[in-house]
Amino acid sequence: MSVVPVLCGESPVVCLLGETGSGKSTQVPQMILQEARKERRRARICVTQPRRVAALNLATRVASELGERSTVGYRIGGESRPGEHIDYCTVGYTLQLFLNAPQELGEYTHIVLDEVHERSAESDMLCLVVRLLAHYRFPGTRIVVMSATLQSDLFSKYFGRISRLPVGNVFVGARCFPVKEYFLEDLPKALNRKLRCEQAIFGRIKDAFGEVRVKKIDQKHCDKLHSIVLELLEVIAQPDSTILVFLPGIAEISSLWQEAKGLEDRNFRCFPLHSMVPREEQELVFQEPEPGTTNVVLATDIAESSITLPHAQH
C-alpha cells in the first residue's frame, strides 16, 4: 500500500506504524506538504513530540532537507518559532495551547500525533482533546497517529468515532539501518581486534558487579563505570563517527562529562544532551564530527529513538 494516497485520501484519521529509523517523523510531514503543493491546497501541519530535544532536532533536520528554513518551525515551552507549514511541538505545549485556545487547532490542516506508544497523562489527554475538537469544531482537520509500536486496533477504534469513513492503516516497513546487540559477557569477542584492552576492561566490570548477566545496572552504581566507559570509548572509537552513551539522568551525564573532557586531547569531542542543557550546547551535538575526530554524546535512553546523530560526510 502506498503511503501518500492514504495520508492524503478521504479518511480523516490515519494510523501509521513504522519501526524506529524508518523516517516517519521526518518524511510523513514532508509527504503531506508536497502532495498539498502538487494539488495547490493549503497545508499547515502540527507534529507532536514527547520531548523538546526531539522537537528541536526534527525541526532543524526537516528544514535542512527541504532547504526552506521558514517552512519548518517549532513550538515548545519557553520559546517558539512557528513555521509557515510545519510545526514540531512538544506534547505539553500542544495540550496547553488547545485547551486555552481551541481555535488554534483549526489553523492546522493536519495534526500528527507521533510516538503515541509513549503513554502518559499528557499524551492521553491530548488525544482526547484532539478527538473532541476535530469531531465537534474542526471536522476538516485530519489526524495522523504514528508510532513504532502502535496498537492499531486501539487507536483506530478510539479516533474512528469522529467519522463514518474507515480509518486508514499504513505499515511503512522496518528500520533503515541494521543494529547489532552486544552484552557485557560478549565484550571480549566483540572487541577482539584490540586484545590488549578489552580483557582487562571486562575483568574490571566483573570485579565491580560480579557475574554480569543483567541487562541494566542499578543507577547508584553508575559512578563505578566511569573509568571503564572512558577506556571502552578509546577501544571502540573510529574517526569521523559518533558514539552514543546512555545514562540514567542529568546528574550522571554531568558527572561523566566532567571526566570525559580529558579525552578531548585525544581526538575526541564530548557533548551532554538533555533538556536541561542550554539549547546552544544541544545544537552542537548535531554537527558532523571534524576530520579524524570521534564525537561522544552523553544522553538518556530517549536518544535511542528520538534523535538522529550524524556521521561525517568527508
DSSP class of residue 263?
G
**Cβ neighbourhood burial of 244 (10 Å; 0-12, 13-18, 19+):** middle
What crossing angle do the helices spanning 226-236 and 195-209 adopt, rounded to 10°? 160
Q: Does the residue 41 lie in any domain?
A: yes
From CA 119, how far away is CA 56, in angstroms rounded?
21
For residues 152 and 18, state if they share a domain. Answer: yes
Q: Does the residue 115 lie in any domain?
A: yes
CA triple 19-144-108, angle to 5 deg: 135
Task: Give the number of other Cβ atoms within 10 Å of residue 208's Cβ.
Answer: 14
For residues 26 and 131, state if they share a domain. Answer: yes
For residues 142 and 274, state if they share a domain. Answer: no
| Final residue in a domain of this structure, among 171, 200, 216 | 171
The predicted structure's pLDDT at residue 196: 47
For residues 252 and 145, state if they share a domain. Answer: no
The predicted structure's pLDDT at residue 1: 41
Q: Does the residue 193 lie in any domain?
A: no
Q: Which secondary-structure segment (H or E) carries 282?
A: helix 279-284
Q: How many domains does the chain have?
A: 2
193's CB contacts (< 8 A; 6+ apart) are: none
From CA 100, how far away is CA 270, in angstroms rounded?
41
From CA 239, how far away is CA 291, in angstroms rounded?
7
The predicted structure's pLDDT at residue 301: 76
CA torsion sign for 102, 103, 106, 108 is negative
- Bridge partners, 145 (sequence order): 15, 113
Computed on alpha carbons and rounded to an integer, the radius of gyration of the chain in Å comes to: 22
- CATH number for position 78: 3.40.50.300
Residue the block writes with cell 509527504 = 31
Q: Which secondary-structure segment (H or E) carries 193?
A: none
For residues 162 and 252, state if they share a domain. Answer: no
Residue the block writes with cell 512538544 = 90
Can you list the positions of beta strands (E) in 172-211?
none
217's CB contacts (< 8 A; 6+ apart) are: 209, 225
C-alpha cell at 268: 575526541
Mean pLDDT, each 10-residue run in order, the chain (314 residues)? 62 82 87 92 94 87 89 90 94 95 95 88 93 90 84 78 75 66 65 51 56 52 74 83 87 88 85 83 82 89 69 50
The predicted structure's pLDDT at residue 190: 56
For residues 45 and 127, state if they share a domain. Answer: yes
Assign 160 to helix, strand or coil.
helix
pTM metric for this prediction: 0.74
Range of the domain at 306: 234-314
| Final residue in a domain of this structure, among 139, 171, 203 | 171
Q: Does the residue 106 lie in any domain?
A: yes
Q: Does the residue 284 lie in any domain?
A: yes
Task: Give the number of other Cβ atoms within 10 Å of residue 206's Cβ.
Answer: 13
- Cα separation values, 302 from 109, 120, 157, 179, 308, Å: 29, 15, 29, 17, 11
The predicted structure's pLDDT at residue 195: 44
